[in-house]
Amino acid sequence: MSKHRKRHEDLRSYRWYGVNDLRSFGHRSRTKQMGYAEEEYAGRPVIGILNTWSEMNPCHTHFRERAEQVKRGVWQAGGFPVEMPALSLGEPFMKPSTMLYRNLLAMDAEELLRANPIDGAVLLGGCDKTTPALLMGAISMDLPTIFVPAGPMLRGSWRGETLGSGSDVWKYWAELRAGNIEEEDWKEIEDGIARSPGHCMTMGTASTMTSVVEAMGLSLSGAASIPAPDSNHPRMASASGRRIVEMVWEDLKPSDILTAGSFDNGILTALALGGSTNSLVHLVAMAGRTPVRLALDRFDSLSRQVPVLANVRPSGAYLMEDFYYAGGLRGLLTRLREHLDLEAMTVSGQPLGQALEGAGVYNDDVIRPLDNPLFPEGGLALLRGNLAPDGAVIKHSAADPALLQHKGPAVVFKDYNDMAARIDSPDLEVMADSVIILCNAGPLGGPGMPEWGMLPIPQKLLQQGVRDMVRISDARMSGTSYGTCVLHVAPESHVGGPLALVQDGDIVELDVPGRRLEVHVSAEELDRRRQAWKQPSPTYPRGYGAMYSRHVTQADKGCDFDYLHSGASIPEPEIH
């Protein structure tokens, strides 16, 4: 590192603790009130440990222990650790969507760090929206920061079958609705699919984003792949605590790490993993907190350069535990070396290429070589056309190849309740080649852009053996989901996007190789329908929801609040 090493007088916390005035007297005396001696905090970097533990967040149930292990590392390195609870976004429980609250956690993280005497931050996250939210706030605050991922849970099991969270839920739910398994089978699956702390062990949004963050240099090398119950995980937490103290003295901040090259490294990682479509929204939002301008077209350009190498569900066959034993993310990144910016800086203080030294792959079926990929190009594709002028996305690595070029008549549901009421009706006019469309599921329409995008196959088609159809919405989709699902259609139907104008029977064309999404209706007819369209009423009359509705951007802009990725930096608080 070329920077000069800080002195303790240069620490941000010195303004709270080190000055000989009335306010510093209060800060010191109140710290002693908590049982700390002056020797424990004086002249030491104050490390804020932002903990998203909650009993409504099963992915983070081990974070009480991990916070203590981070503290152990901070103490060992001569820092003063302080644990600070942050909003916990429990993916399974929060309704209508954790995405509605991602920006609230980002604000929480930023203001916790700004308002308190914090010199460096350790972020404990992992469950889907928690990772980008914590980092969006920390990037805006720009203090030395290291991310500690929750880690994937252990693989599930049922009657000798290995179960993957999310992916096998959708699979066996379809089989239950088709009449191929019984309620007792379904109950046994419920009992065996989630067996330990940690986030989804498929390549869902959680594993995608923690891997992306590691590839971008914001976690210790190797951190993202460690299963939550593995003893290497608490050791990684302690190592992160030791390292953040050194990062404070070195003044190594997110702004020193996050470049266009590091964002490309993150995108390439998501693509080679067959990662979640949610990564587009989150990476665009994270870039919006930096000088890097990240457009959706960058994802598609890079997707044509790298194949899918991770044979992990839902695109592949294995789970994150297998991925870890096969070499983990470090192993996969070694196979992408020729595509990566190896000079990009990491929290280790080393460039990425140096941080990867010694990594290898130990199972070529789990982490494929470049000449034997799981899928010939990156797992995500960007679509445009008169149905998605500002873009839409598909995880084509997890779709039926026969449907990647398809034309069919639309079956339109005006909202989720309409779909739930009619999807299994014997009278629904739908065929296997129909294109199912869900409206009003976007950032404003959902509200919060819920993960409704893996629309259910109508029951009467399931009973005929149909297991995939073209499905289009302005919703998101869980990274654990699969199928020919077009998502994030922008602009969304709630604001008058073209999706709102599609009618039953319109011919819709999906052409993934050509990157097109079209409705075969004339411009004149679409304009006539647009004139007759009426804006839905706002969902929220007051509170956070009203603020969200006024300021959230569309999917192609990252669904951040417009005022959070613009304007001058916020000044440091005055200590009066």
Please indicate, yes or no, if residue 259 is contained in any of the structural domains. yes
Domain that holds residue 275: 8-154+196-355
Please indicate, yes or no, if residue 314 is contained in any of the structural domains. yes
Angle between helix 205-215 and helix 260-272 axes, rounded to 10 deg: 140
Domain count, the chain: 3
Q: What is the pTM of this model?
A: 0.96
Pure H helices in 124-203? 130-141, 167-178, 183-192
CA 262 vs. chain centroid, Å, equals 17
| Residues contacting 424, CB < 8 A, separation 6+ | 177, 456, 458, 459, 460
Domain end marker among 532, 549, 570 = 532
pLDDT given for residue 360 in this prediction? 97
pLDDT digits (tens, 9 = 90+) for 140-158: 999 999 999 999 999 999 9
pLDDT digits (tens, 9 = 90+) for 263-320: 999 999 999 999 999 999 999 999 999 999 999 999 999 999 999 999 999 999 999 9
- 169 and 261, same domain (yes or no): no
pLDDT given for residue 58 in this prediction? 96
- 24 and 90, same domain (yes or no): yes
pLDDT digits (tens, 9 = 90+) for 105-118: 999 999 999 999 99
- 136 and 18, same domain (yes or no): yes
- 257 and 227, same domain (yes or no): yes
Say how far apart CA 206 and CA 279 lie, in whole Å.
Answer: 10
- 398 and 339, same domain (yes or no): no
Helix (H) / strand (E) element for 410: namely strand 405-413
- 132 and 264, same domain (yes or no): yes
Sheet with strand 46-51: strands edge to edge:
80-85, 46-51, 120-125, 145-149
Mean pLDDT of 461-489: 96
| Residues contacting 296, CB < 8 A, separation 6+ | 280, 284, 382, 391, 393, 556
pLDDT given for residue 565 in this prediction? 82
- Residue 482 sits in a domain whose CATH number is 3.50.30.80
- 20 and 150, same domain (yes or no): yes
pLDDT digits (tens, 9 = 90+) for 346-377: 999 999 999 999 999 999 999 999 999 999 99
Domain end marker among 338, 355, 372 = 355
- 27 and 143, same domain (yes or no): yes
Token pair of 351 as six digits: 């460039």
pLDDT given for residue 364 in this prediction? 98
